[in-house]
Amino acid sequence: MRKNSIKNTRINGEVKRELSNLISREIKDPRIHPMTSVVDVEVAPDLKTAKVYISVMGDEKAKNDTYQGLKSAASFMRGQLAKNLNLRNTPELIFIIDNSIEYGINISRLIDKVSAQSSQNAKEVDIDETDEDIADDDVAEDE
């Protein structure tokens, strides 16, 4: 089975959905932050390992605590995957903290800030041009 095959894509989606449900509903570890989400899952073609990309909204301590909680619950989640999914092998779960959502939010804030500044500068330029037009009109009337 190739990495980007239809079957592999389907398995990735099923594992992602199942892990999301397990993390949000089944695992009661207090270290796991409530704003934890599974961003992506990459199951190896041989079904031996699965890289689970997780996003945690919070500070570095919340991320580290969540990571440790997920690592300690990995065997439980693997057992639940084996029970709920019909796979030849149940993959070993490797958790990876994914900061792409926070990065995207930060970029969006920066874009909003720059666009607000540019619109403010455009208003100031319009006001200056209007003042110059009025001054030019006054000079033209005096002549």
DSSP per residue, 109-137: HHHHHHHHHHHHHHHHHHHHHHHHHHHHH
Q: Where are the domains of the chain?
A: 6-98, 100-143
Bridge partners of 53, per DSSP, are 40, 96
The angle subtended at Cα 72 by Cα 46 and Cα 59, nearest 5°, is 105
C-alpha–C-alpha distance, residues 44 and 76, integer Å: 20
Q: Which CATH fold topology does 6-98 show?
A: GMP Synthetase; Chain A, domain 3 (3.30.300)
**Those residues with Cβ within 8 angstroms of residue 63's Cβ, 6 or more apart along the chain or in another chain:** 33, 56, 97
C-alpha–C-alpha distance, residues 96 and 7, integer Å: 23
| % of residues, the chain, pLDDT over 70 | 84
pLDDT in tens, 36-82: 999 999 999 999 999 999 999 888 999 999 999 999 999 999 999 99
pLDDT-based confidence at residue 3 (cuts at 50, 70, 90): low
Edge-to-edge strand list for the sheet holding 92-97: 36-43, 49-56, 92-97
C-alpha–C-alpha distance, residues 65 and 53, integer Å: 15
Return left, alpha or beta for 58; rule: phi > 0 is left, psi -120 to 50 is alpha, else beta: left
How much is the pLDDT for 53?
96
**Those residues with Cβ within 8 angstroms of residue 124's Cβ, 6 or more apart along the chain or in another chain:** none
Cα torsion 29, 32, 36, 38 to 10°: value is -70
How much is the pLDDT for 2?
63
How much is the pLDDT for 74?
95
How much is the pLDDT for 111?
93
Backbone phi and psi for residue 33, each to the nearest 5 degrees, phi listed first: -65, 140
